[in-house]
Chain A
């Protein structure tokens, strides 16, 4: 049973470009969560999605950030017009139903030059 998969593992973008981060949840999991971890800090919740629905986006910046979890395919976290402050590790987690038992992927490390 494969775990949560994220790609790419590392992503380098120049300021103003777009970043697309992908997350494939564990088989049978229909709940996806995105978290961001800045250097030397703990993880911060960004958004919680179920298939085709955004349930809680209270942690998402109001501008430039969007997320989706289509009926088919992986969940996508999209960052438009990236700035240096977006450099961080972005983790995706999935769960079958209970919010506490979230299983995390290896993360995507975004570096904005």
Chain B
């Protein structure tokens, strides 16, 4: 199973761009990289998913280098409402369909 490593917490200010990097050295060929966001007392919310290079949607961008051993979630111009826990997950197509959540990164956005 591919293990992920993320910073425990990050602080930022409103309007700044935030980059959260995730390491996954043992990622398998068929694995995808997925990021979820979780607010207090809510279920995780899917943000973005990618396999290689760059993916962008209306919420975030995901940068994945050629070796795929890491990925970076980029949140443009964060606001106070982006304060949440962000989880990096690596797909486990080989081992079934369960998602393995790590501790995640607590992002605190300040005014």
Contacts and interface: CB of A to CB of B under 8 A. Distances in A.
Interface in B45-74: 45-46, 49
Main secondary structure of the interface of B (DSSP, over half): loop
Secondary structure at the A interface, as helix, strand, loop or mixed, is strand
Given A93-B43, A101-B49, A102-B46, A55 B96 contact: yes
Contacts of A101: 34, 46, 49
Given A45-B100, A56-B97, A58-B98, A100 B89 contact: yes
Contacts, number: 67
Contacts of A103: 46
B42 A45 contact: no
Sorting the interface of chain A by its residue count into under 10, 10 to 19, 20 to 34 or 35 or more gives 20 to 34
B97 to A, nearest CB: 4
A99 B98 contact: yes
B98 A56 contact: yes
Interface of B: 32, 34, 41-46, 49, 87, 89, 91-93, 96-104
